[in-house]
Amino acid sequence: MIQHAGLAPARWRRLRSKRLTKVAAGTLGALALVALFADCIASDLPILLHLEGETYVLSGLLRPAALRTYNNQQLRRELADRGDGWAWMPLCEFGPRQQPEILEPPPAAPSSVHWLGTDDRGRDLFARLVHGTRVSLAVGFVSVGFYVTIGMILGLVGGYFGGRLDWLVSRLIEIGLTFPTFFLILIIMALLERTSILTIMLVIGLTRWTDVARLVRAEVLRLRELDFVTAARAAGAGPLRIMWRHLVPNAIGPVVVNATFGVAGAILVESALTFLGFGTPPPTASWGEVLSQAYEHQSHWWLTVCPGLLLFVTITSLNLLGEALGQAIDPRIRD
Amino acid sequence: MDRLRGGRFLLRRLLWAVPTLFGICVITFALIHLAPGDPIAGGSTGPTGPAVSSREMESTRRLFFLDLPLLYNGAPRGLEARVGRLLEAGRGCGTVCVPELVGLHDGAQTTAAGRQRIERALELIRAAHPGLGPAGVAGVRWARAVLPRLSRGQVERLASRLGADPTVERRLDQLGTAALPAVMDALLGRHGEPRRAASRVASTVTGFEGRLIASYGAEEQSRTLAFWGEWWYQHRRDHVSFSWWERIHGRITETQFAKWLGRVVTLRFGNSVRDGRPVGEKLCEALPVTLLLSLLSMGLAYMLAIPLGIHSAVRRGRPLERVITVVLFVLYSLPSFWVAMLLILLFGGVGHWDWFPIHGLASEGLENAAGWTWLADRLHHLVLPVACLTFGSLAVISRYQRTAMLEVIRQDYIRTARARGLGERAVIVRHALRNSLLPVITLMGLQFPYLISGSVIIERIFNIPGMGMLTFDAFLNRDYPVIMAVAVISALMTLVGLILSDLCYALVDPRIRLEERR
């Protein structure tokens, strides 16, 4: 049995032992839950509603047509009038796109009604940030998954087969390194006629694979000379099998570390793009979009502070996790 | 001997850059083809009317040479193709067509088919001008008389007298577009009055307003010249019959890709759609600003990061080191554009403190002030943007430095040095420092793209007229010439950064040079 050096149990133990890492992982878990249950946390319709003998479950999500003209505030009044229905309200009773009755010219400062204030169209900031979490995390994880796949394949192919293929892969990597990625992404996004979250994921995925490819290639170059690969080859294993069963598990360590930092990078890129106006298209809620509003309304501090803080916390947690993973994999980094 | 080896390494590294450079060109070329999806598909549904959009389509078509094949042109066509098209369509064939036939005439008169085409053209002229009546016949007679006289050589002789003889202009005007090759040669190749005369002829003949006037300032003059240069680069083949040599290499050069490559190699990216100024000129204005920002912040980051990294490696575990590590980690995770906005919120006059200007690089009225006032004002404006650009790379570099130092300290030769009784200071400075600098130096080249990318957003926030701002404006206005120039230039600059860092690496570490030799 080959003991894989990739993510052996000893490393997991080392990883779990640090308190700060636990905090970071917990924060990320909480953010993931927020992203997953965004519709239960902040929505303009109740989670559960019993009205006129009919029960609606998450009707904003599952039956968007049924209660289109309603929102929480109206439903509350209605329920109070009738007295026969009931509702389970979400934590925050405003939807991310809902523009409630205007009390004062937006953006409104944080208050008991709007916990984090409103944006420049009177939409509740808390609701928008909660739903923005979904965009950020989705972009982060999907795009990184995408480019890790590309980078792994290229790195494996280049490193294992060597020769001309390796030359080609090295040149591709060099070209990829040469383009300032954020710039490239910006150019592509600006040139595309219509953008969506999916295009952002694709573009980030297609432009940032170089580091992974470089790491995997270097690792594979080292590993393929080792005895266990020769042994596997002698046992009659084909290149695909050697790569998948022997090289990938051993080379995955640095890739996981890189990917963790990469998620942070991708989230940052998404919000920066949206901040510049070339990312997530309106009216989708995203952190960068709120920050771009903050640029227009510089004296309204909550527009700057709240989304930025969230962004900072997310990125810090991811970086902490990446750091801890790196230490778990390469103990030399530790003191 | 050693120097020779170094030279060979440099040469080798530069040669390696060639395929990369080519790859960059291919990628930007592919990117540009993402761009004008609308002119081909015709799906542009902007608020601008159909007339405007069709004109825009035509100019985008010309800008990217979309009427040419992508990579291989089986039969490169010049003027003949255009005249042929006009004849076939049977329209637009007024007297304008006659001079165009002149170019054709040299060769065409000798063959039966060529004579036939000329006859046909004359028929069409008569058909296009029924009002001429018997004068139509006279027109044909005039054309018949004038054709043989106006060979290419004669047109060129005429154009060489531009500016000296006032009647020449009128005679060239009459020749119409047939005179363009000679006129453009004069316009782009000569100076003073002949150039101005040529610009007058070119304007009359093509219908574009581009007259050079003696009272023009340098900027206006260069803009007009740039317009004609670009126009000729795009339209030359409509007005010149290709020689046999041009027909041969035209198979490769008369293609979209070759034309694009030509733009990159000659750094002639055309003119900004927005204000008509040559892109090169705009780049030359913006690049120094961004370089100033980048180099300042990079220098600052290195100056702070290397001592910090060394300190936190050597004194690891002490309270101060822990504080530094935490602070650096936080800095590392802070999004720079958020920090920029927080700084504006705090110190930019939005809240309590109005300490630093947040707009541009110079105060109003102080753009051209002298000496210290100018410098102080500049620096005052630079504080916030440079701070925003610096802190991120500061964190990265010091972390690298720390890791490298930790690695070096564990080496045997450091133990040996200590065992020899050297003081701690001497060990660190003389033995450990040099080796620990290696990874940090390679990082320099890799930091460059980040700085350029970062400058887009920071320059936008602080309204600094650098590359970032230029790019942002270009994106907003869909200013394709600027976008493609910026893409190529930034990639080139990054490549140079990579090469430089490799060279530094080789300079510090002789093993690399030796390895290359093996």
Confidence class for position B48, pLDDT limits 50, 70, 90: very low
- Ordered by start, the domain boundaries in chain B are 2-37, 77-146, 151-241, 288-517
Please give the share of chain B, as a percent, with pLDDT higher than 70.
77
Q: How far apart are the first and last CA of chain A?
A: 32
Q: Are A99 and A123 in contact (CB under 8 A)?
A: yes
Predicted confidence (pLDDT) at residue B284 exceeds the cutoff of 60? yes
Give the distance from residue B338's alpha carbon to the nearest chain A alpha carbon, in angstroms: 6
Neighbours of B148 (CB within 10 A): 12
Chain A residues with CB-CB distance to B487 below 8 A: 183-184, 187
Predicted confidence (pLDDT) at residue B119 exceeds the cutoff of 90? no
> Omega before B69 cis (within 30°)?
no
Q: Average of pLDDT values for B239-246?
A: 80
Instruction: Tell me what pLDDT residue A92 has.
Output: 78
Report the range out of A106-115, B32-41, B218-227, B355-364 with the highest average pLDDT. Answer: B218-227
Give the distance from residue B103's alpha carbon to the nearest chain A alpha carbon, in angstroms: 41
- Coil, helix or strand for B147? helix
Residue with tokens 């953010």: A31
Q: Are A52 and A87 in contact (CB under 8 A)?
A: no
Chain B residues with CB-CB distance to A264 below 8 A: 333
Q: Average of pLDDT values for A55-73?
A: 73
Instruction: Tell me what pLDDT residue A141 has.
Output: 93
- Euclidean distance between CA atoms B283 and B281, whole angstroms: 5
Instruction: Tell me what pLDDT residue A112 has.
Output: 77
User: Is A126 an interface residue toward B (CB < 8 Å)?
Assistant: no
> Omega before A283 cis (within 30°)?
yes
Instruction: Tell me what pLDDT residue A140 has.
Output: 92
How far from B175 is each of B127, B207, B241, CA to CA, in Å?
A: 20, 14, 16
Predicted confidence (pLDDT) at residue A191 exceeds the cutoff of 70? yes
B163 dihedral zone (left: phi>0; alpha: psi -120 to 50; beta): left
Give the distance from residue B231's alpha carbon to the nearest chain A alpha carbon, in angstroms: 24
The residues, any chain, with a CB within 8 Å of residue B261's CB and separated by 6 or more, are B25, B29
**B212-234 tens-digit pLDDT:** 887 888 888 888 888 888 888 88
Tell me which residue in B333, B472, B498 faces A178 most closely, judged by beta carbons: B498
The residues, any chain, with a CB within 8 Å of residue A114's CB and separated by 6 or more, are A94, A108, A124, A125, A126
Q: Which of the pair, A34 or A175, is modelled with greater confidence?
A: A34
Is the pTM here over 0.90, yes or no?
A: no
Q: Average of pLDDT values for B281-296?
A: 88
Predicted confidence (pLDDT) at residue A313 exceeds the cutoff of 90? yes
Q: Are B463 and B360 in contact (CB under 8 A)?
A: yes
Q: Average of pLDDT values for A37-52?
A: 80
Tell me which residue in A178, A192, A312 faces B334 most closely, judged by beta carbons: A312
Chain B residues with CB-CB distance to A190 below 8 A: 475, 478, 483
> Cβ of A312 and B335 within 8 Å?
yes
- Euclidean distance between CA atoms B10 and B7, whole angstroms: 5
Predicted confidence (pLDDT) at residue A83 exceeds the cutoff of 80? no
How far from B450 is each of A27, A180, A182, A228, B501, CA to CA, in Å?
A: 28, 7, 8, 40, 15
User: Chain-wide mean pLDDT for chain A?
Assistant: 82
**B397-449 tens-digit pLDDT:** 898 888 888 888 888 888 888 888 888 888 888 888 888 887 787 777 777 77
Instruction: Tell me what pLDDT residue B150 has.
Output: 58
Q: Are A127 and A99 in contact (CB under 8 A)?
A: no
Q: Which of the pair, A126 or B55, is modelled with greater confidence?
A: A126
> Cβ of B333 and A312 within 8 Å?
yes
Q: What tokens does B298 get?
A: 């990079």
Instruction: Tell me what pLDDT residue A31 has.
Output: 93
- Euclidean distance between CA atoms B111 and B101, whole angstroms: 14
Closest residue in B to A266 (Cα–Cα): B335
Confidence class for position A97, pLDDT limits 50, 70, 90: confident
DSSP B275-326: T--BHHHHHHHHHHHHHHHHHHHHHHHHHHHHHHHHHHHHTTTSHHHHHHHH
ipTM over 0.95: no
Angle at B357 between CA B356 and CA B363, to 5 degrees: 130
Going from the N-terminus, what domains does chain A have, and what CATH number goes with each?
Answer: 9-37+127-329 (1.10.3720.10), 44-89 (no CATH)
Tell me which residue in A172, A298, A316 faces B350 most closely, judged by beta carbons: A298
Q: Average of pLDDT values for B252-276?
A: 83
Chain A residues with CB-CB distance to B452 below 8 A: 180, 183
Chain A (302-321) residues lying within 8 Å, Cβ to Cβ, of chain B: 304-305, 308, 311-312, 315-316, 319-320
> Cβ of A183 and B37 within 8 Å?
no
Domain with residues B288-517, CATH architecture: Orthogonal Bundle (1.10)
- Euclidean distance between CA atoms A302 and B306, whole angstroms: 37
> Cβ of B348 and A311 within 8 Å?
no
> Cβ of B407 and A276 within 8 Å?
no
> Cβ of B494 and A271 within 8 Å?
no
> Cβ of B471 and A183 within 8 Å?
yes
Q: Whose CA is closest to B309, among B369, B243, B393, B240?
A: B393
DSSP B374-437: HHHHHHHHHHHHHHHHHHHHHHHHHHHHHHHHHHHHTSHHHHHHHHTT--HHHIIIIIIHHHHH
Instruction: Tell me what pLDDT residue B134 has.
Output: 46
Tell me which residue in B344, B407, B483 faces A298 most closely, judged by beta carbons: B344
Instruction: Tell me what pLDDT residue B437 has.
Output: 83
Instruction: Tell me what pLDDT residue B43 has.
Output: 38
Chain B residues with CB-CB distance to A316 below 8 A: 329-330, 333
- Cα dihedral A153→A156→A161→A166 (10° resolution): 80
Instruction: Tell me what pLDDT residue B45 has.
Output: 39
